[in-house]
């Protein structure tokens, strides 16, 4: 694929084919748009049935910030897989760093979390991203992060 190619939306089957994550740690439900080499807009449907709501927090369920960042990272992984033509290669996208994370609005059950991630820097083995999680157009979380492309660990 060439840069600036837009791909059709991903349903859950295509998300499952792109990512190695599975329930309960799969945090992307669909991809609304993906501009190869540039950016992605994905969705996480936040349900009260999520395991983390049992203890975070009783009486006031809030999605943990680290899981919001993980949802952004999974979105970035799909963007990297498509942009760097890694599908079927067995390569994985690993976190290297998380910087300047800010949480603005609590994410509660029943929300659709809009995940917007764009490349800041793109190289063959290391990529930098900017992510924003939005609730009804309002910023919930913003973060800069770096990931590396690598082979999976030996079994």
Q: What angle do CA 77, 17, 72 make, to 5 degrees?
A: 25
Of 111, 120, 137, which is closest to residue 46 (Cα–Cα)?
111
Q: DSSP class of residue 154?
A: P
Sheet with 126-135: strands ordered across: 6-7, 30-35, 39-45, 112-122, 126-135, 138-150, 92-103
99-137 as b/e: b if 16+ CB within 10 A: eebebeeebeeebebbbbbebeebeeeebbbbbbbbbee
The catalytic position among 21, 41, 56, 116 is: 56
Omega before residue 83 within 30° of 0, cis: no
Active-site residue flag, 41: no
Give me the active site residues, please.
56
């Amino acid at each position: 694929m060439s840069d600036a190619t837009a791909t059709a939306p991903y349903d859950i089957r295509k998300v499952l084919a792109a990512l190695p994550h599975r329930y309960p740690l799969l945090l992307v439900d669909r991809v609304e748009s993906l501009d190869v080499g540039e950016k992605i807009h994905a969705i996480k449907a936040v349900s009260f049935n999520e395991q983390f709501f049992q203890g975070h927090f009783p009486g006031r369920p809030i999605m943990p910030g680290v899981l919001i960042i993980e949802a952004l990272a999974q979105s970035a992984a799909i963007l990297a897989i498509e942009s760097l033509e890694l599908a079927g290669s067995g390569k994985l996208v690993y976190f290297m760093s998380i910087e300047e994370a800010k949480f603005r609005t609590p994410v509660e059950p029943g929300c659709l979390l809009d995940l917007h991630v764009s490349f800041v820097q793109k190289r063959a083995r290391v990529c930098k991203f900017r992510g924003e999680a939005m609730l009804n157009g309002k910023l919930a979380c913003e973060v800069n992060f770096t990931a590396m492309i690598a082979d999976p660990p030996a079994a």
